[in-house]
Chains A and B, each alone.
Chain A
Amino acid sequence: EVQLVESGGGLAQPGGSLRLSCAASGFTFGDYTMNWVRQAPGKGLEWLSSISSTSGNIYYGDSVRGRFTISRNNAKNSLYLQMNSLTAEDTAVYYCARTSRYFDYWGQGTPLTVSS
């Protein structure tokens, strides 16, 4: 069974940093592109970033480019999102999602609140 479990969310200060993690199991992690998608309270889905299976191709959405960094460790079956220069607009539930071009499996999400 495919499982994706995010962690690392919580409360962060404006201008602060936080690192999210996503632990994967139930599939060959190193074979898949992985993604981060977020959902602000009461809002829709926003794709943030994708990283290919070998980290050779990385993409970012405009709202996070230059502030967030996606990475992965295939030996540890883990995906990461380093988030810097956080603002209130980054308050959301952050999901990791596996890609088979489309997002076929999603984690349960980890909530982040950015507030002083």
Chain B
Amino acid sequence: EIVMTQSPATLSLSPGERATLSCRASQSVSSNLAWYQQKPGQVPRLLIYGASTRATGFPARFSGSGSGTEFTLTISSLQSEDFAVYYCHQYNDWPRTFGQGTKVEIK
């Protein structure tokens, strides 16, 4: 099983600041990596797929990078609506696995 490890567990930042979230895979997943955003009480929403392709509806301040085992989600300037939990997910191999999530909270 490919273990996905996200860091940090919690990121406390102010609106306007840059957020950098990391996701590490225990073995290579190529670019078969997605990110999801989940706000409290809401359904997870696809944010990034193919490690770097932004899903429909998300603004350009969200960007993804990386390949192999190291991935990064960057939010260039946090807006109030961006405070949420973010999960990475590998779809390179079975079983599909998620990271444990990074909570981006208001400082």
Chain B hits for A60, CB < 8 A: 95
Residue of A99, A106, A107 ringed by the most chain B CB atoms within 10 A: A106
Contact B99 A44 (CB under 8 A): yes
A111 sits at the interface (CB 8 A): no
Contact A101 B91 (CB under 8 A): yes
Name the CB-closest residue of B to A99.
B91
Interface majority SS (helix, strand, loop, mixed), chain A: strand
Give bound CA distance, A100 to B49, whole Å.
10
Stretch at the interface among B11-19, B20-28, B38-46, B69-77: B38-46
Chain A hits for B95, CB < 8 A: 47, 59-62
Interface string of B38-78 (1 = CB under 8 A from A): 10000111100100000100000000000000000000000
Chain B hits for A35, CB < 8 A: 96
Interface residues of B in 89-107 (CB under 8 A from A): 89, 91, 94-101
Pick the contact of B89 from A59, A103, A105, A108 — CB < 8 Å? A103
